[in-house]
């Protein structure tokens, strides 16, 4: 797995956390720093090495703390290979699946409290890992540590609940017709999950269909923070974002926005953006990503909204957060509070799938 995949650092500080740490064959006793220069890396401090293509660190016991300018301090264990690409560090860590999983569950379920929700998250994340193992194989590693794959911030942030959940479900995977399922999940569906095709056109899985998340008016995910949200977008701002995203040309101005097609859940599936002279059709998913990337992911939290048009702005009133496909994490929490176990939770969000122990 690639560590610090969204950071662009040229140097990283190493600090053994207890237990033996080796750099190649030699013991690393104290702190050291690895620096990238062009296509090579070198180490100084506790141990010095000449410039090389790779430096391999093996950390046993507690592991090794990494930190540095622009790099949050994180604890890792096992084999770490440091190399350089155009003066930037590339760090690949070989990590055991169950440890990785406890880390992912800690990050993904950090706001939840129900142990059954943690277990459901563990099975979903384990299955997601197995089915997305080749996300970055062309770049020479399996997965990255950002939400592009699954968020993983090392051993230092693993919670007891997450470790228990991955232990209790050790090896369990969700299958559909004999093959591991694509276990997409998201924060809060807003009352109804969405059929995959309406979020990612041309993609379909029989178990990723819209399900009602609890009784009408009392969705399981109601306790989610920011369940209801409102965002005002002025046409001046929308124009800037739409030009940057390439939805309109530099000479055009955004004058309006409306939903032109809906998914099964009632989420927007397709939007029309108006200028003085024409309308541009875009998928709600492209809009969500386009705005999120440029204005922050809190501006539009999901595609589950209504649009109110005003003179100089549109008002979006929405529910839930995330893409809405597969398991609703806050809904799993709500189901846990109502006494459902993790098997029932998974069955609810991925109908027709079965748990197998690999």
Contacting residues toward Zn ion, per CB under 5 A: 135, 144, 148-149, 189, 213, 221, 328, 331
Which residue lies nearer to Zn ion by CB, 136 or 205? 136
The C-alpha atoms of residue 189 and residue 75 are separated, in whole angstroms, by: 33
Smaller CB distance to Zn ion: residue 16 or 191? 191
Closest CA to 161 of 124, 189, 130, 120: 120
Cα atoms in the 13 Å half-sphere on the side-chain side of 123 = 31
Q: Please, which residue, 290 or 331, has the CB nearer to Zn ion?
A: 331
In the complex, minimum distance from the CB of residue 49 to Zn ion, in angstroms, rounded to a whole number: 29
Pair 21, 32: CB distance under 8 Å: no
**Please, which residue, 28 or 144, has the CB nearer to Zn ion?**
144
Q: How far is the CB of 93 from Zn ion (least distance, A)?
A: 14
Nearest to Zn ion of 30, 140 (CB atom): 140
How far is residue 106's CA from residue 54's CA, in Å, rounded to a whole number? 31
What's the closest the beta carbon of residue 72 comes to Zn ion, in angstroms?
Answer: 18
**For residues 16 and 331, which CB has a smaller minimum distance to Zn ion in the complex?**
331
Residue 144 or 316 with smaller CB distance to Zn ion: 144
CB 322, min distance to Zn ion, A = 10
Cα–chain center distance at 86: 27
Q: How far is the CB of 148 from Zn ion (least distance, A)?
A: 4
* Minimal distance, residue 263 CB to Zn ion, in Å: 15
**Least CB distance to Zn ion at residue 2 (A):** 8
């Amino acid at each position: 797995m690639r560590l610090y995949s969204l950071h662009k650092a040229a140097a990283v500080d190493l600090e053994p956390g207890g237990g033996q740490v080796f750099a190649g064959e030699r013991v690393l006793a104290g702190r050291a720093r690895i620096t990238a220069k062009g296509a090579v890396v070198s180490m100084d401090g506790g141990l010095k090495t000449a410039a090389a293509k790779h430096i391999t660190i093996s950390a046993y016991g507690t592991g090794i703390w990494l930190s540095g300018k622009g790099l949050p301090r994180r604890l890792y264990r096992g084999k770490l290979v440091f190399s350089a690409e155009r003066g930037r560090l590339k760090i690949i860590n070989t990590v055991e699946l169950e440890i990785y999983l406890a880390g992912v569950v800690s990050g993904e379920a950090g706001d939840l409290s129900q142990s059954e929700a943690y277990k459901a998250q563990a099975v979903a994340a384990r299955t997601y890992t197995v089915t997305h193992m080749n996300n970055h194989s062309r770049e020479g590693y399996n997965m990255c540590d950002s939400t592009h794959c699954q968020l993983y911030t090392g051993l230092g942030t693993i919670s007891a609940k997450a470790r228990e959940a991955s232990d209790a479900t050790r090896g369990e995977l969700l299958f559909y017709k004999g093959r591991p399922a694509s276990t997409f999940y998201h924060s809060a569906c807003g009352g109804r999950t969405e059929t995959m095709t309406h979020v990612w056109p041309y993609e379909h899985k029989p178990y990723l269909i819209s399900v009602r998340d609890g009784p009408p008016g009392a969705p399981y995910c109601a306790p989610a923070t920011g369940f209801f949200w409102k965002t005002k977008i002025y046409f001046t701002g929308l124009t800037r974002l739409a030009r940057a995203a390439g939805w309109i040309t530099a000479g055009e101005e955004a004058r309006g926005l409306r939903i032109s097609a809906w998914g099964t859940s009632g989420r927007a599936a397709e939007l029309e953006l108006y200028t003085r002279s024409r309308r541009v059709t875009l998928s709600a998913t492209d809009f969500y990503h386009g705005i999120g990337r440029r204005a922050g992911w809190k501006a539009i939290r999901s595609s589950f909204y209504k649009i109110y048009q005003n003179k100089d702005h549109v008002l979006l009133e929405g529910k839930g957060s995330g893409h809405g496909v597969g398991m609703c994490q806050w809904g799993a929490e709500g189901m846990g509070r109502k006494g459902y176990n993790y098997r029932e939770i998974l069955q609810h969000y991925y109908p027709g799938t079965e748990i197998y122990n690999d």
